[in-house]
Amino acid sequence: MRVLSIEFEQTSDDDGTIGQQLLQLLIAENTRNQGEAKIDREIIRIKDSANNVTLGGIWTEILFDWMYIEVLYVPEALRGNGLGSQLLVQAEDSARSKGCVGIWLETFDFQAPDFYRKNGWELFATLPHYPRGSNRRFLCKRLHDLDRCSTVKGKNTQ
């Protein structure tokens, strides 16, 4: 058996080569443990039909029976008209049709945590002081009558 000569090296990864190597190692490990993961990506966009310009929309990914909202964006001039809520409903319908357990996302205090709560989303974790002077919020919405997203009973995640 070959003895490894291990050392730690702190380095930059400007071209992403090392990051990709690490990602492939992790994917291989996850595949051994959970089977091959199929990522299902979908975008629903808000567009100006006159010139086919994207104005906003929602970008989702499904992995391991959960949908993740990568981006939800509605331009300021169009906010308050229910477009964001319509995007969430369309994403929820898509997730249900694909058998997802639920949907989750990340947002910041200076973005839209209250918008998601008004649409029935539950806060399940907070990363305080990220970025400084704000917080990063993690919210989810179960699509079936299972239990709530928060698994720690009696803990306040706000």
Residue 85 belongs to domain with CATH number: 3.40.630.30
Q: Are 89 and 82 in contact, with CB atoms under 8 Å apart?
A: no
Assess if residue 137 is contained within a domain: yes
Cis peptide before 75 (omega within 30 of 0): no
pLDDT in tens, 105-149: 999 999 999 999 999 999 999 999 999 999 999 999 999 866 677
Q: What is the pLDDT of residue 144?
A: 82
pLDDT in tens, 60-102: 999 999 999 999 999 999 999 999 999 999 999 999 999 999 9
Paired tokens of 146:
């299972």
Assess if residue 98 is contained within a domain: yes
Assess if residue 12 is contained within a domain: no
Q: What is the pLDDT of residue 5?
A: 92
Q: What is the pLDDT of residue 139?
A: 98
Total domains, the chain: 1
Q: What is the pLDDT of residue 37?
A: 85
Q: What span, in angstroms and rounded, lies between the C-alpha atoms of 121 and 69?
A: 12
CA 60 from centre of chain: 7
Assess if residue 150 is contained within a domain: no
Range of 74's domain? Answer: 39-142
Assess if residue 88 is contained within a domain: yes
Assess if residue 25 is contained within a domain: no
Taking residues 28-51, report their average pLDDT.
94
Q: Are strands 122-128 and 135-142 parallel, antiparallel or unpaired?
A: antiparallel
pLDDT exceeds 70 at position 155: no
Assess if residue 100 is contained within a domain: yes
Q: What is the pLDDT of residue 154?
A: 46
Assess if residue 24 is contained within a domain: no
Q: Are strands 66-73 and 102-108 parallel, antiparallel or unpaired?
A: parallel
Q: What is the pLDDT of residue 153?
A: 47
